[in-house]
Amino acid sequence: MRYQHAVVTGGAGFVGSHLCAELLDRGTAVTCVDDLSTADPRNVTHLEGRPGFTMVEADVREPFDVTPQADLVLHFASPASPADYLRLPVHTLETGSLGTRNALALARRHGARFVLASTSEVYGDPREHPQPETYWGHVNPVGPRSVYDEAKRFGEALTMAEAQANGTDAGIVRLFNTYGSRMRGHDGRAVPTFIRQALAGEPLTVAGDGRQTRSLTYVDDTVRGVLAMAGAAGLRGPVNIGNPDEITMVDLARTVIRLAGSRSTVRYIERPEDDPTVRCPDIALARERLGWEPRVRAAEGLARTIAWFREQEADAAAPARADTAGRDGVPKAA
């Protein structure tokens, strides 16, 4: 299904910026709404000037509107990395509550399809494995991670209430450990942290004994899954969007070292409180209702992501190199 005008809250963020680009490629006009509290505006610089793209700097915790009328609202606004939600705990909870309310109100006014970006974090430290959508989770509601977990859990409840009470065509996707280009090296998530450390030749800091698992989903696969859900009018979900291929954290670290051609070693550090032991999606529902499953294997996706980080390092170094040379490229005298 092709939409005419989509609103992407959090559209300047990591996943949101990829969604904006893919929607534009599919012929959909896009309004990106972001307060830039955790996003890098350079994520959407390449979209500025493209026909149909509009950037609106706004905080979704306050009511907002867009023109022209939208027929799709993708609510991706939220601090998502540990570094961000631990720094902005109240902001995170308010974005999941007030922000979701305001995004749902926009969808209701415009008669638009609404998709909430929820997370595998709603399963907490799961006691059922892999995790199907019917599993209610094992979450510490007052722990340090609760500001993110409970924001998303409340957002899910509010989305369902809106659909039932007001008939808004709303659905929920639960995303599992998405990674790829435009992640920040210091955001606290495993993949960018390991890549940053490997490229710098630093030890890769693995929490605990490194045997805890995650299921990594390359961003291109996540975007396809989200837009498949967007096109599944009437489907509320929630639907898991993730890669069921598990990997331990120590194996992930060693894979990054190998793919980066790094001489880094592994250093074990204290495991954070409430750090999940396992995380793996049951994607039977996504296969059945969306015809979706991941395509990008971890080695391929990690290699692409490492290459992107290298490009960023090279771009950052270029001005410094230019500043040390004269106009003819000859180094300046000290």
Give 200-229 as a DSSP string: HTPPEEEETTS--EEE-EEHHHHHHHHHHH
The secondary structure element, H or E, covering residue 110 is helix 100-110
The secondary structure element, H or E, covering residue 116 is strand 113-119
User: Strands 213-215 and 246-248: what pairing?
Assistant: antiparallel
Omega before 238 within 30 of 0, i.e. cis:
yes
Indicate which residue of 3, 85, 123, 148 is catalytic. Answer: 148
Assign 99 to helix, strand or coil.
helix
Model confidence pLDDT, tens digit, residues 40-63: 999 999 999 999 999 999 999 999
CB 114 within 8 A of CB 171: yes
Based on the residue annotation, tell me whether 85 is a catalytic residue of this protein.
no
| For residues 298-305, average pLDDT | 97
Distance CA 285, CA 291 (A): 9
CB 183 within 8 A of CB 14: yes
Q: Rounded to the nearest 10 degrees, how much is the dihedral formed by the CA atoms of 276, 281, 282, 284?
A: 170
Q: 51 to each of 20, 54, 113, how far by Cα in Å?
A: 12, 9, 23
Does the structure show a pLDDT above 60 at 11? yes
Q: 262 to each of 184, 211, 248, 255, 309, how far by Cα in Å?
A: 20, 22, 19, 10, 14
pLDDT-derived band at 328 (thresholds 50, 70, 90) equals: very low
**Identity at 230, one-letter amino acid code:** A
Please state the domain extents for the chain. 5-315
Average pLDDT, the chain: 94
Superfamily of domain 5-315: NAD(P)-binding Rossmann-like Domain (3.40.50.720)
Handedness of CA 299, 300, 305, 308 (dihedral sign): positive
Assign 178 to helix, strand or coil.
strand
Model confidence pLDDT, tens digit, residues 245-259: 999 999 999 999 999
Does the structure show a pLDDT above 90 at 334? no
What's the half-sphere exposure (Cβ side, CA atoms, 13 Å) at 257?
17
Greater confidence, 96 or 329?
96
pLDDT-derived band at 318 (thresholds 50, 70, 90) equals: confident
- pLDDT value for 222: 98
Tell me which residue of 170, 16, 158 sits closest to 101, measured CA to CA: 158
Does the structure show a pLDDT above 70 at 99? yes
* Cα of 17 vs its chain's centroid, Å: 10
Length of the chain counted residue by residue: 334
Question: How many Cβ atoms are within 10 Å of 13's Cβ, its own excluded?
Answer: 31
- pLDDT value for 314: 87
- pLDDT value for 48: 95
**Identity at 89, one-letter amino acid code:** P
Tell me which residue of 96, 115, 226 sits closest to 168, measured CA to CA: 115
